[in-house]
Amino acid sequence: MSLQAISDPIVSYESDPLILVNEQDQATGFLDKAACHDGEGLLHRAFSVFIFNEHGEVLLQRRAEGKRLWPGYWSNSCCSHPRAGEEIPEAARRRTEQELGLHCELTPLYAFTYHARFQDLGAEWEHCHVLVGQLERPRPKVNRHEISAWRWVSPAALSHGLQAQPEQYTPWLALEWATLQAEYGARLPRALG
């Protein structure tokens, strides 16, 4: 589904302070988002959300073309960074509402650290918390500063797409989906009814 002209509020700035962490996810300080993503990047706290519908399909978003890193790539339902003093579930709910217009209970599943470079424009180096949720009959109202398109896909279709055309997807989506399928498959939302 494609989107129209942008009239949505801006919910993310390059000057936003991110939480720097060590390998044990202990906070070590704060630094603006732009600096955290410069060069090889600096390790910071983040989260990724996977939202499923009543058919067991997962919501994917295509990142807006104005994004510095991986613009136009397909990614998981929502991903961002917590604010100072904000717990991960609270941050994930806030951002899911800001980006997708969806109110969803989210279950934390696991956290991991990854590093990925995007051309010569910077890198993601994140300690990322992965959460899942499910809604009946969800209809996203996306923020077009963040998202250029969205779609529901079956787990099988996502697995196939990641294998057949990996260059169309963000690297963290590929890593997270592989772990979700291999280690958390029984805990992922299924078709209802």
Considering the candidates 57, 99, 124, 126, report the single residue annotated as catalytic.
Answer: 126
pLDDT at 179 over 70: yes
Q: Residue 178 corresponds to which tokens in the numbers above?
A: 């592989």
pLDDT tens, residue by residue, 14-47:
789 999 999 999 999 999 999 999 999 999 999 9
The CA distances from residue 140 to 48, 77, 157, 184, 190, in Å, are 17, 10, 20, 25, 19
Q: How many helices (H) and strands (E) does the chain have?
A: 4, 9
Other beta carbons less than 10 A from residue 120's beta carbon: 6
**What's the confidence (pLDDT) of residue 1?**
44
Q: Dihedral angle at the C-alpha atoms of 161, 167, 169, 171, nearest 10 degrees? A: 120
Q: What is the mean pLDDT of residues 182-186?
A: 93
Q: What is the mean pLDDT of residues 123-133?
A: 98
pLDDT tens, residue by residue, 58-91:
999 999 999 999 999 999 999 999 999 999 999 9
**What's the confidence (pLDDT) of residue 3?**
45
The CA distances from residue 82 to 10, 72, 90, in Å, are 16, 23, 8
**What's the confidence (pLDDT) of residue 99?**
96
Considering the candidates 36, 78, 79, 128, report the single residue annotated as catalytic.
Answer: 79
pLDDT at 8 over 80: no
Task: Name the β-bridge partners of 44.
Answer: 20, 126
Task: Name the β-bridge partners of 2.
Answer: 149
Say whether 126 is catalytic. Answer: yes
Q: What is the mean pLDDT of residues 129-150?
A: 93
Say whether 79 is catalytic. Answer: yes
Give me the residue spans of the domains in the chain: 17-187
Domain 17-187: homologous superfamily in CATH: Nucleoside Triphosphate Pyrophosphohydrolase (3.90.79.10)
